[in-house]
């Protein structure tokens, strides 16, 4: 806005100083040109220079701010990549540990099945043996009775 205002005022000054009336009236001499430069053009150029310097500084500040924001974004992305890699490593470790525990649980389950079957088989053998002992003792009783009976006869 300032630049537009200064350019418009400079244009007006140049038109005013270079119109035909100024030339015909005889004011377009060296002194007039010197005064015009001293009063209008030099101050306008100084104001324009200050405006461009201010614009340059604002532009530099803006670029610096964008660079700082970009660096912060790069750092954040880098940090998130590191965190993602750590998380993936932890996840792999958890999965390996899970596989190990699952294998261990299956091994324990297989051992339990084998032990249970062995105990069950041993119990069956004991039941058979107990049955055999019962039958044997009954037979002994029968033999004893028979011997006693034969003796009595």
| pTM of structure | 0.44
Burial label for 27, CB within 10 Å (0-12, 13-18, 19+), is middle
- Residue-wise pLDDT for 86-112, tens only, equals 999 999 999 999 999 999 999 999 998
CB 51 within 8 A of CB 6: yes
Q: Are 9 and 44 in contact (CB under 8 A)?
A: yes
pLDDT in tens, 6-47: 666 666 666 655 555 545 555 556 666 677 777 777 787 888
As a whole number of angstroms, the distance between CA 57 and CA 78 comes to 31
- Domain map of the chain by residue range? 2-152
Please calculate the CA angle 72-83-67 and round it to the nearest 5 degrees.
Answer: 10
Please give the structure tokens belonging to residue 153: 């006869």
């Amino acid at each position: 806005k300032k630049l537009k205002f200064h350019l418009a005022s400079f244009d007006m000054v140049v038109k005013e100083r270079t119109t035909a009336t100024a030339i015909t009236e005889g004011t377009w001499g060296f002194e007039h040109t010197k005064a015009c430069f001293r009063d209008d053009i030099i101050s306008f150029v100084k104001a324009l220079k200050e405006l461009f310097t201010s614009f340059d500084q604002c532009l530099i500040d803006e670029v610096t701010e964008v660079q700082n924001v970009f660096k912060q974004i790069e750092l954040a992305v880098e940090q998130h990549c590191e965190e993602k890699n750590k998380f993936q490593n932890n996840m792999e470790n958890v999965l390996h540990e899970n596989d190990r525990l699952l294998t261990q649980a299956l091994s324990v389950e297989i051992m339990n099945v084998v032990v249970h079957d062995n105990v069950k088989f041993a119990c069956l053998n004991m039941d058979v043996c107990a049955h055999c002992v019962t039958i044997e003792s009954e037979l002994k009783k029968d033999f004893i009775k028979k011997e006693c009976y034969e003796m009595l006869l």
